[in-house]
Amino acid sequence: MKNIQSFIKQSDDFQSIFNGLKEGLKEQLLAGLSGSVRSLFTAAISDELKRPMFIVTHNLYQAQKVTDDLASVMPDRSVLLYPVNELIASEIAVASPELRAQRLDVLNRLANGENPIIVTPAAAVRRMLPPVELWKESQIHLKIGEEIDLEAFQKNSSYKLVMTGRRWLQRPEILVCAEESSTSMR
């Protein structure tokens, strides 16, 4: 693959696109690349830029295909899918925990200074995300077997306590159940 990337890097088209990226051009048009050639061209650009890349596709299916293609030509680089459904209503109604976990993983890697290639559908561009500093401050790290004071946890994390026979700590998209007689959670 490196030989093919070297060949691509020597082309005038590659040099034109790469120089435009270095100079901060806002718009560039590259047409006629598809499939593996597009992935190899992207890999060559990524190899030269050495910074996170954000690739936007028109839907989630295409984002998955591009992620798989890039991962196959760039085994030494972290290629991540940031999955988002096109309709917000469907995201709320049927959002799977796996997709949420993937999004959280991508955001955590970016916040920790990793250098991944992120592939996402266009719907993700319309979503609001918190600034990196707020993301890092809002992280709550819990360990298996760790005991925490429920009242302090509730007060410091803006969870709402609801009584239903057991004690439930509830926050949008997160549920934690504690023993009824306990004041700490394991």
Tokens linked to 133: 């500093």
| First vs last C-alpha separation in the chain | 49
What whole-number distance in Å separates Cα of residue 25 and Cα of residue 40?
A: 22
pTM above 0.75, yes or no: no
Q: Residue 161's pLDDT is what?
A: 55
Q: Residue 179's pLDDT is what?
A: 45
Mean pLDDT, all residues of the chain: 80
Instruction: Give the tens place of pLDDT for each residue, 104-121.
Output: 999 999 999 998 999 999
Domain boundaries, the chain: 1-50, 51-139, 148-185
Instruction: Give the tens place of pLDDT for each residue, 114-161.
Output: 989 999 999 888 888 889 998 888 887 888 988 888 777 777 766 565
pLDDT value at 77 more than 60 = yes
How many Å separate Cα 25 from the centre of its chain? 25
What CATH number does domain 51-139 carry, 3.40.50.300, 3.40.30.10, 3.40.50.150, 3.30.230.10?
3.40.50.300
| Pairing of β 79-81 and β 117-121 | parallel
Other beta carbons within 10 Å of 151: 11
Tokens linked to 139: 């992280």
